[in-house]
Chains A and B, each alone.
Chain A
């Protein structure tokens, strides 16, 4: 069953959509769905108040949000299976704590996309903002599985406290990429800002573009070509192509095992 929600008109007060997931609506009628209560600001409204609802047959549990707005928050929170397609922008907390399934956003996503994600896949065709694949405020267990792909740019502190999984940003990222990283791989095709990998203890960050700087608490290990990145010895490894400066760190912590790969071609002056 596929559910198609079309936003009737642009909204200004944010709406939280965590009550509605593809797996939850399989046995529901259009009427049932229209009557699901959701919060808008401090009021409670019904799905039918702001959306046109349409049901279609589909092989997999699916949900499409058309005419979407950045005011639609918590899309796909806790999702375990199925697919969500967002036509337009997605608001904060996209796919928070999701365990499986797939979310595709044909637009931008706001802060905290994929926060505490445990599995599944999120593809953001536009840009993502800050705290992509991070942990809850104050927490120390971030994204622990799954794949997050951003075709545009990402913001600050992406992959904060990440413990497993992959984040691939095809554009560039801002400061503190992979802060407190303790597992998993972050690949940035574009440039990154300052303080990359601050307090990372494990995991790997690959930068193909230009870096702002490398913290003095990282140790230079040499230049590597086409490395296969493994977090644990048993891992199959992820192969990345190109020539990289390899650093280990962050040595502000005891016995860190973090790996930092920075493209030689894009940063010819880094080691001078």
Chain B
């Protein structure tokens, strides 16, 4: 099937195209130079054309998302997707898999990464991916509290650690290394947490610094497409911004050496909003978003995603078990907690960020502080779905960023006065341009994830993931912006039209993206000695039953990495 998308105003930051009127040609799922006369012509005069959106950090599949769905029937009741010819879906903050896929597609998104996959539960993640339509997806595998990783790093045995990480990535069909509260989630197994980067955890006696630095070294030894993806210690604690900056800099000197893609950074800080808190308690809680942003602006090794609070009733879920316990104690709301043997843990708590709440209003402002003050080459748009708010609110965030008037309306009319007093949002005049919006939702995620060769741009050879929005590039009316980005005029996935006028018209199933790392045979033999012993002694599962079987995906998109140079 051939398409020619005519007369659109194209925003493609990876190819430096800023609002040029041009035609995009598509053949067999790929963007090409030209098409034949038989190509179907779609006139999009006056509309904005962008690459398909990429969500680098979201929670859409796996055991904790499902726990959220099970424990929150009342969330299911809030929103229903019921359109003829498509699967019925329910849920506002934790939608069912089909609804998730349809809604991403409606917004012009075509790729999404599940940000926390416990290796032991990887099968569940991939099983849900099989049922998530419309988007390409991948999952980041959790390593930050893994016993085997912690043991190797404590010994300083980076080679074996790298071999182990490679083996787990292959076994879990993961995409990158995710670190959550390094050392802390393991400490939670002992009823404790760690505080700060240099607080050793019980038994393993290893600090967050050693884990983050160690895994960054391992990541660059292996040459994975994405950098380490870090959720630092002390999430959600007033005064945690210092820990955040220390964590950002603890592996500063390591060079990026990706064997795939064009990544230039070695550290990705997830949901930075939750890590930019000043003050010493909730009473003197304030924004340190500007200080953090300034730090990022002068560092070249960092990318961040924001995790913007959208002030909705949502469901928080993270592998940071102790933090969810704190949250449960503060609200008295229902709580689910889980320990994954040897690997990680997690927690789920429903949470209502009320605009009237002083703390929540400041949290909202902190996210905007980061968006407005950080170099737009380094920021990625997320809400840490569903922790800060559901992903369907991305369009509202874009409206806040593009219109100072709308931002001020919320600041003065809707949220608590603390937001104005304790952040710099009111003082900032910056308004995002359409080009910058394309950067934070397309180009930057593609580049940070190491996938900018084939996605996140509209150059010849790229996957034909395209979003068309019915909006004037100079539009300043917030409602128009919000509506346009919530319901795309057209979305193309792999060259097929899947959304027309904001409604899904075709159900497609994207690929599951994962890395396939090849390691030296000698090293693998050595690893197996240790690993077989581990499985025999510690795991409740046989080693042979551990890997994700090949049939757990509609189609795999493997990124092959040759790391045989490690010995």
Contacts and interface: CB of A to CB of B under 8 A. Distances in A.
A268 interface: no
Contact of A140 (B77, B329, B333): B333
A196 interface: no
A138 interface: yes
A135 interface: yes
Q: Is the interface of A mostly helix, strand, loop or mixed?
A: loop
A254 B332 CA distance: 9
Interface in B34-76: 71-75
Nearest to A140: B333
Nearest to B332: A253
Nearest to B313: A141
Contacts of B74: 135-140
A137 B333 contact: no
A51 to B, nearest CB: 27
Nearest to A137: B73
A201 interface: yes
Contacts of A201: 332
A137 B77 CA distance: 9
A55 B73 CA distance: 39
Interface in B322-348: 329, 332-334
Contacts of A138: 71-75
B334 A136 contact: no
B350 A136 contact: no
Contacts of B71: 138
A84 B74 CA distance: 27
B281 to A, nearest CB: 17
Contacts of B350: 140
A136 B92 CA distance: 15
Interface string A124-146: 00000000000111111000000
A245 B350 CA distance: 36
Contacts of A139: 74, 77
Among the interface residues A135, A137, A138, A254, which one has the most CB atoms of the partner chain B within 10 A?
A138
Q: Categorize the interface residue count of chain A.
A: under 10
Contacts, number: 22
Contacts of A136: 73-74, 77
Nearest to B71: A138
A166 B72 CA distance: 27
B417 to A, nearest CB: 22
Nearest to A253: B332
A140 B71 CA distance: 12
Contacts of A140: 74, 333-334, 350
Contacts of B334: 140
Nearest to B70: A138
Interface in A54-94: none
A37 B253 CA distance: 69
A201 B333 CA distance: 12
Interface in B349-394: 350
A253 B334 CA distance: 13
A253 B75 CA distance: 25
A29 to B, nearest CB: 30
Interface hub of A135, A139, A201, A254 (most chain B Cβ within 10 A): A139
B334 to A, nearest CB: 7
A68 to B, nearest CB: 26
B346 to A, nearest CB: 19
A134 to B, nearest CB: 12
A138 B332 CA distance: 14
A50 B72 CA distance: 36
Counting chain B CB atoms within 10 Å of each CB, the highest count among A140, A201, A253 belongs to A140
A84 to B, nearest CB: 23
Residue of B75, B332, B350 most packed against chain A (CB within 10 A): B332
A119 to B, nearest CB: 20
A139 B332 CA distance: 13
A137 B73 CA distance: 6
B396 to A, nearest CB: 23
Contacts of A137: 73-74, 77
B15 to A, nearest CB: 48
A187 to B, nearest CB: 25
Interface in A117-165: 135-140
Interface string B68-93: 00011111010000000000000000
A201 B331 CA distance: 12
Nearest to A139: B74
Interface in B376-432: none
A254 B72 CA distance: 24
A200 B332 CA distance: 11
A138 B74 CA distance: 5
B416 to A, nearest CB: 20
A27 to B, nearest CB: 28
Nearest to B333: A140
Contacts of B77: 136-137, 139
Nearest to B331: A140
Nearest to B73: A138
A256 to B, nearest CB: 10
A201 B72 CA distance: 21
A253 B72 CA distance: 21
A201 B332 CA distance: 10
Given A137-B74, A138-B73, A140-B350, 17 more contacts: A135-B74, A136-B73, A136-B74, A136-B77, A137-B73, A137-B77, A138-B71, A138-B72, A138-B74, A138-B75, A139-B74, A139-B77, A140-B74, A140-B333, A140-B334, A253-B332, A254-B332
12 contacts: A136-B73, A136-B74, A136-B77, A137-B77, A138-B71, A138-B73, A138-B75, A139-B77, A140-B350, A201-B332, A254-B329, A254-B332
